[in-house]
Amino acid sequence: MSIPHSSHWGAFRAVVTADGVQLTAHPDDPEPSALLANIPVAATPTARVLKPSVRRGWWEDGPGPDDRRGTDGYLAVEWDELLDRVAADYARVLADHGPQAVYAGSYGWASAGRFHHSQSQLHRFSHCLGGAVRSSWTYSHGVGEVLMPRVVGSQEPLISPTAWSSIEANSDLVIAFGGLPAKNSEVASGGISRHEVAGRLRTARARGAEFVLVSPLRDDLAAELDASWLDVVPGTDAALLLALCHVLQADGTYSREFLEKYTAGHEEFLGTLDDKTPEWAAEITGIPAGDIRALARRAVRGRTMVMVSWSVARTRFGEQPLWAAAAFAAMIGQIGLPGGGFGHGYASTGGVGKRAGSYPLPTFPQFADPLRVRIPVARISDALLHPGEAYEVDGRHENYPHLRIVHWAGGNPFHHHQDLQRLQRAFRAAETVIVHEPFWTSTARHADVVFPSTTTLERDDIGAARYDDRLIAMGRVHPPLGEARDDYWTLSELATRLGVGERFTQGRKAQDWIEHLYEEWRTGPAARAGIVAPPYAEFVAAGEFALPAEPGEKVLFASFRADPDRYPLRTPSGRIELHSQAIAGFGYDDCPGHPVWLAPEEVPDEEFPLHLVANNPATRLHSQLDHGATSQQGKVAGREPVRMHPDDAATRDLVDGSVVVLRSRRGSCLGGLVISDAVRRGVVQMSTGAWFDPVSGAEAGVTCGHGNVNVLTRDVGSSRLAQACTGQHAAVQVSAFDGVPPRVRVFDQP
Ligand code: PGD
């Protein structure tokens, strides 16, 4: 019998056959994701953590900073023994240093499922113990989370901008900075039962909408949309946007009425544009001045939507393109009109623009955080390496706490963080590193304690996401492999040993919780929202529940446009802030009070002459299931592919399909070369998510033998405002790899 199930990249049904787990996509999904084919490998022992495991040095010599993290061997031990030791160490640190010595930010995408969601589990556990240091914001869109509330009073442009349906029906022109890559719209945190973005774009195009792609990569927008491609130099979008604003000002075609009625600080902003000519921007961006002028003039001829992908802001000074895009859209004057204005993150996941509000969902309660100490999520290495040191963020002066225990469930910092050798040094400074993982990821291989977690296929749950219109009764497909246990079980055992077991579990087993969460939702928030859901048993028997469609269509800031005095934005002025007194007051030279062009410090030079674009992968979600079928089919010579323009390959005598070495100021890795004119000259593109393999790297004389691009990237915040992830860009050199490439070892048992 096939069993309903869900993942961040699609709902499906699964069945166990003699050949392993077989999946079929949800029948209502018009364009199921190829990532589904990665899932069956999770049901095999390859790369699975099969037993509770402990690093030899920690087990034998006790906790403490240790340079052997990342190279030491592991011992398989009994569950009880390991839980006792971990609980004793937790008790030691809490007694000697308090909860501010524990880091349980535990950033990561984990898996679909409302109850077993790893971060929720870990946060509830630490809140029972008096709290732990947590993280603020995300790697995905940390810049927008901090900047947008200051500019437009909320995170709405990046969480629920104008609906796709409004763009489909009304936009004449879509200008997509960073594009609308299909690969990113295939995934949505918590699940996505229908993949609709590609279809909506096709309909808009068939109606006559035109698309302009601003990106160094041509395939950041589907070829069928017949877009004009402005192949911008990476990291220069803000200069392009300021020049677009300049043209509207010079032509006198901007909406003075909109600026006066709906914005604050427009005089200051307009006063900075005189020298931001298309000729000035052409030098920086590589886009001909004539094309810049033509685009600005085209933008005011019809209904125009200005979009900035999350990735464009995932850069040094990433605040600037986002703020400048809001300013350009304000000058066009269509914010609040159907199909017009601006948005941040369309197609950056499948949920953005899908619906106006979010559905109420069954939610595992975490209790309040008694400690309330947070660090910006992408500053984890700084915190571990510089305890007590001062830093600034969003107008505040803070000090990093002294972290001794690092506790992670559902994330892979040795994939997601920048400058992995620095992260290695940071993890080595901790006293104890605890990781809950189904797989021997590189983060697990840098931990002292590795608790084997179940995968979703091994447990029941409720699949649901804020912007998806279906609840899936996820069923257990097969029993846990080896000694894997649910994170809930492991944390319950630790909680019991630390004297808070009853508070953590409230006397419920996992199955009790799932039913309880569903019923609590059905009779509470769902009922209040007018959603009539069946009782739990009927929901499970049906396999899913379709949530009601939403009436009307979301247009971002429509009510503000209709009456800005009655519906002011939650900014100090109540208006869109083209100049922010608050930000100006912070005195940050890396993020002044209005959008500016700031040249990134690291640009290609003689030693590292190429721009690297380190974007999210097309063949897996982040680093998840890198050993799965789709991900493996995408590898070139067993490494992560790196794409390069034919001219750049010719200058270096590089051959398509060969193994190459990428080097930056931070480190080096191997990659498999793909020569492609979809990449701008002077740019190479390599996706994140190949598991970090220092072992095969050491053999090859590089930092990673497999192709984890984050050995190359720089660990620096976007600015003192957002302190967000800047992993998209770096300067690199690429050369041929001489010799026999080592075997990738990262999927072997350690
Ligand atoms: P994932 O690979 O999804 O990456 O970083 P993130 O850490 O989220 O990691 C999730 C981990 O959770 C996997 O190892 C998986 O096995 C584990 N897991 C899944 N289910 C469970 C479970 O039930 N229990 C437990 N214990 N573990 C589980 C993603 C991050 O990377 C993000 S969101 C972005 S947008 C960033 N993007 C970039 C970028 O553009 N460029 C660079 N250079 N770097 C980036 N890093 C960021």
Cα 205 from chain centre: 28
Ligand 1 atom 2 nearest Cα:
623
Q: Is 409 in the pocket of ligand 1 (CB under 6 A)?
A: yes
Q: Is the pLDDT of residue 355 over 90?
A: no
**Alpha-carbon dihedral of residues 413, 416, 418, 420, nearest 10 degrees?**
50
Ligand 1 centroid, distance to 330 Cα (angstroms): 35
Ligand 1 centroid, distance to 413 Cα (angstroms): 7
Q: Is the pLDDT of residue 357 over 80?
A: no
Q: Is the pLDDT of residue 220 over 90?
A: yes
Q: Is the pLDDT of residue 299 over 90?
A: yes
Q: Is the pLDDT of residue 356 over 80?
A: no
pLDDT computed for residue 94 by the predictor: 98
Q: How many CB atoms lie within 10 A of CB 647?
A: 12
Q: Is the pLDDT of residue 284 over 90?
A: yes
- Pick the range with the lowest mean pLDDT from 273-282, 357-366, 427-436, 696-705: 357-366
Q: Is the pLDDT of residue 206 over 90?
A: yes
Ligand 1 atom 46 nearest Cα:
416
Q: Is the pLDDT of residue 87 over 80?
A: yes
pLDDT band at 521 (very low <50, low <70, confident <90, very high): very high
323 to each of 145, 241, 319, 591, 649, how far by Cα in Å? Answer: 12, 10, 6, 11, 36
Q: Looking up tokens 């010079």, which residue turns up?
A: 250
What residues have CB less than 8 Å from 519, skipping those under 6 apart?
Answer: 535, 536
- Tell me if 713 sits within 8 A of 600, measured CB to CB: no
User: Rounded mean pLDDT of 125-152?
Assistant: 98
User: Rounded mean pLDDT of 643-669?
Assistant: 98
User: Rounded mean pLDDT of 327-354?
Assistant: 96
Which residues are annotated as catalytic? 107, 109
> Please, how many CA atoms are within 13 Å of residue 728, restricted to the half-sphere of its CB?
25
Ligand 1 atom 27 nearest Cα:
410
Q: Is 189 in the pocket of ligand 1 (CB under 6 A)?
A: no
Ligand 1 atom 42 nearest Cα:
727
CA-CA distance, 86 to 92, in Å (whole number)? 10
Q: Which atom of ligand 1 is nearest to the CA of 709?
A: 43
What residues have CB less than 8 Å from 185, skipping those under 6 apart?
Answer: 195, 197, 198, 347, 348, 349, 350
Average model confidence (pLDDT) across the chain: 97
pLDDT computed for residue 549 by the predictor: 83
Ligand 1 pocket test, pick from 406, 415, 713, 732 with the greatest ligand atom count within 8 Å of Cβ, gives 415
Q: Is 412 in the pocket of ligand 1 (CB under 6 A)?
A: yes
Pairing status of strand 449-452 against strand 53-55: antiparallel
Strands (E), 595-688: 610-613, 641-644, 659-663, 668-675, 683-686
pLDDT computed for residue 1 by the predictor: 84
Q: Is 728 in the pocket of ligand 1 (CB under 6 A)?
A: yes
Dihedral sign from CA coordinates of 532, 537, 538, 544: positive
Ligand 1 centroid, distance to 668 Cα (angstroms): 21
CA-CA distance, 379 to 375, in Å (whole number)? 7
Pairing status of strand 173-177 against strand 304-308: parallel
pLDDT computed for residue 125 by the predictor: 98
Backbone angles phi, psi at 40, to 5 degrees: -55, -30
The share of the chain scoring above pLDDT 70, in percent, equals 100
Q: Is 610 in the pocket of ligand 1 (CB under 6 A)?
A: no
User: Rounded mean pLDDT of 302-324?
Assistant: 98
pLDDT computed for residue 508 by the predictor: 98
What are the pLDDT digits (tens) for 422-476?
Answer: 999 999 999 999 999 999 999 999 999 999 999 999 999 999 999 899 999 999 9
pLDDT computed for residue 553 by the predictor: 87
Ligand 1 pocket test, pick from 107, 416, 715 with the greatest ligand atom count within 8 Å of Cβ, gives 416
What are the pLDDT digits (tens) for 543-598?
Answer: 999 999 877 789 999 999 999 999 999 999 999 999 999 999 999 999 999 999 99
The share of the chain scoring above pLDDT 90, in percent, equals 98
User: Left (φ > 0), alpha (ψ -120 to 50) or beta: where does 547 sit?
Assistant: beta
Pairing status of strand 659-663 against strand 729-736: antiparallel
CA-CA distance, 303 to 208, in Å (whole number)? 12
Ligand 1 centroid, distance to 38 Cα (angstroms): 15
pLDDT computed for residue 190 by the predictor: 96
161 to each of 28, 155, 305, 357, 611, how far by Cα in Å? Answer: 25, 9, 11, 10, 31
Closest CA to 671 of 609, 617, 725: 617
pLDDT computed for residue 565 by the predictor: 98
Q: Is 449 in the pocket of ligand 1 (CB under 6 A)?
A: no
What are the pLDDT digits (tens) for 617-629?
Answer: 999 999 999 999 9
What residues have CB less than 8 Å from 210, skipping those under 6 apart?
Answer: 172, 173, 174, 227, 228, 298
User: Rounded mean pLDDT of 380-396?
Assistant: 98
